[in-house]
């Protein structure tokens, strides 16, 4: 019997001819990632375990992105601890402010993660890298510490659910809409500890940025990982970036899946996830009249240049509603520069928006977009739990950049075709 792409990657990294769901394996790790919130805990565990040197200075990656540039004394101390450790260990891939961006956009952009990798990170959205055809998953900070010391980690091989997307997308429907619709269909526990494998004709044209968005949000359905079979689009993206050799894996025709779910893309319109779960989704035509105070476009989910172009297309020649706030954060310095070069910043500023340097800040309720009691935000982030972006009595509505931009203009939940 054949294996899925996930099983093949894990078997290769465990030195086994084959693996099956439920097996416990010890696998080699290609990249171990920490940020300014999770790495300090891992560093403490590293030292308590007697760690002296990281297993590979090129494979441990540290990115200050959640509270950097530092928003207060506590965050400054966190970043300093990580910075000092990076210098002590001569970490190759430590990114200081000016080079750092949102980690899950930065690593693919820099070619640090490549197809066929096993990637772990002390951040739940590490599953983003499955867009490249890698097995990538979030772990705890103590697991990160173990990987930093040994270069290995224990895994339970997950079952795989295959999602087959049929047909072509409607106007303004992006990867964000596809994954929100999918999560709405199966629920936040629908893929619990399973790999979500995304296939279908839509991916012959869906850009890498949209694939990143979909893989990123696999965890919002309880998934252990999200993964795509690498193809020509992957090759074009990776070839000019990859720091090291890579390998494309695919699933065998006779691979055994937990289940297969067919999705008709032609029936999907732009989606909105209402509070307080990513699964609480509605099509834009069903949302009703919901006034919104703030629109946020950015994060590891939708801070790509493709997302900013979509927002600019809608905002060009328009102004945001009176009393509304529009915050736009490119995910990396390179995306920031590209958006500026293309004149997108002029469009955003003319529309009444504000542009920030790359940071995760608003997504986790850290800074740069905190909500007050009773306020509502439409956000291109990946979570809308109670208090996620500020006051526990605020509300977050998840959407793609098209809906977020249109909402900023309307001052209420709206899609581009409703302006």
pLDDT in tens, 137-195: 999 999 999 999 999 999 999 999 999 999 999 999 999 999 999 999 999 999 999 99
Buried b (16+ CB within 10 A) or exposed e, 91-102: bebbbeeeebbb
Are 288 and 308 spatial neighbours (Cβ–Cβ below 8 Å)? no
For the chain, the domains span 5-263, 271-418
3-state secondary structure the chain: CCCCHHHHHHHHHHCCCCCCCCCEEEEECCEEEEECCCHHHHHHHHHHCCCCCCCCCCCEEEECCCCCCCCCHHHHHHHHHHHHHHHHHCCCEECCCCCCCCHHHHHHHHCCCCCCCEEEECCHHHHHHHHHCCEEEECCHHHHHHHHHHCEEEEECCEEEEEEEECCCCCCCCHHHHHHHHHHHHCCCCCCCEEEEEEEHHHHCCCHHHHHHHHHHHHHHCCCEEEECCCHHHHHHHHCCCCCCCCCCCCCCCCCCCEEEEEEHHHCCCEEECCCCCCCEEEHHHCCCCECCEEEECHHHHCCHHHHHHHHHHHCCCCCCCCCEEEECCCCHHHHHHHHHCCHHHHHHHCCCEECCCCCCCCCCCCCCCECCCCEEEECCCCCCCCCCECCCCEEEEECHHHHHHHHHHCECCCHHHC
**Domain 5-263 class?**
alpha beta
What is the distance between the alpha carbons of residues 179 and 221, in angstroms, rounded to a whole number?
9
Task: Give me 174's structure tokens.
Answer: 């992006």
pLDDT score of 363: 82
> How far apart, in whole angstroms, are the C-alpha atoms of residue 28 and residue 9?
10
| Low-confidence stretches of the chain (pLDDT beneath 50) | none
pLDDT value at position 366? 85
pLDDT recorded at residue 12: 97
Nearest to 308, CA basis, from 279, 339, 283, 352: 339
Verdict on whether the full-model pTM lies above 0.85: yes
Contacts of 418 (CB under 8 A, 6+ apart): 284, 406, 410
pLDDT of amino acid 1: 83
256-272 core/surface letters (b: 16 or more CB in 10 A; e: else):
ebeeebebebeebbbbb
- Expressed in angstroms, the distance from the first to the final Cα of the chain is 53
Say what the pLDDT of residue 7 is.
Answer: 98
Calpha distance 384→378 (Å, rounded): 10
Neighbours of 127 (CB within 10 A): 30
pLDDT value, residue 419:
84
**Which pLDDT belongs to residue 71?**
87
Does residue 211 contact residue 249 with C-beta atoms inside 8 Å?
no
Q: What is the CATH number of domain 271-418?
A: 3.30.499.10
pLDDT given for residue 35 in this prediction = 94
Query: Do 271-418 and 5-263 fall under one CATH topology?
Result: yes
CA distance 279 to 57: 39
């Amino acid at each position: 019997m054949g294996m899925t792409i996930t099983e093949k990657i894990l078997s290769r990294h465990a030195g086994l001819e084959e693996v099956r769901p439920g097996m416990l394996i010890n696998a080699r790790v290609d990249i171990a990632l920490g940020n300014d919130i999770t790495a300090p805990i891992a560093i403490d565990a590293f030292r308590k375990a007697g760690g002296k040197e990281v297993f590979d200075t090129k494979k441990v990656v540290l990115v200050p992105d959640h509270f950097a540039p530092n928003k207060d004394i506590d965050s400054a101390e966190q970043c300093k601890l990580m910075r000092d450790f990076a210098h002590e260990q001569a970490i190759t891939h430590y990114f200081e402010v000016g080079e750092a961006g949102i980690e899950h956009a930065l690593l693919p952009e820099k070619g640090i993660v490549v197809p066929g990798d096993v990637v772990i990170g002390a951040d739940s959205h590490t599953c983003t890298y499955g867009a490249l055809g890698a097995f990538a998953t979030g772990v705890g900070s103590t697991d990160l510490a173990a990987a930093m010391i040994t270069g290995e980690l224990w895994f339970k091989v997950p079952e795989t659910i295959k999602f087959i997307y049929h047909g072509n997308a409607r106007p303004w429907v992006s990867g964000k809409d596809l994954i929100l619709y999918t999560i709405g269909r199966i629920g936040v526990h629908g893929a619990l500890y399973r790999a979500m494998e995304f296939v279908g004709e839509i991916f012959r044209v869906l850009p890498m940025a949209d694939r990143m968005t979909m893989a990123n949000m696999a965890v919002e359905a309880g998934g252990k990982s999200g993964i795509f079979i690498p193809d020509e689009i992957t090759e074009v993206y990776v070839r000019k970036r990859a720091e090291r050799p890579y390998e494309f894996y695919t699933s065998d025709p006779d691979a055994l899946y937990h289940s297969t779910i067919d999705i008709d893309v032609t029936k999907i319109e732009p989606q909105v996830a209402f509070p307080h779960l990513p699964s609480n989704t509605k099509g834009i035509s069903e949302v009703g009249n919901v006034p919104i105070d703030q629109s946020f476009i950015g994060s590891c989910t939708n801070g790509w240049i493709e997302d900013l172009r979509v927002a600019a297309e809608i905002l060009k020649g328009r102004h945001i509603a009176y009393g509304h706030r529009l915050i736009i954060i490119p995910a990396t310095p390179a995306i920031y520069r590209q958006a500026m070069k293309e004149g997108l910043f002029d469009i955003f500023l003319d529309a009444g928006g504000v542009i920030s340097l790359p940071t995760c800040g608003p997504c986790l309720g850290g800074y740069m977009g905190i909500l007050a009691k009773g306020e509502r935000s439409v956000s291109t982030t990946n979570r809308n739990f109670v208090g996620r972006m500020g006051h526990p009595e605020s509300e977050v509505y998840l959407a793609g950049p098209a809906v977020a931009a249109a909402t900023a203009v309307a001052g209420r939940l709206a899609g581009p075709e409703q302006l």
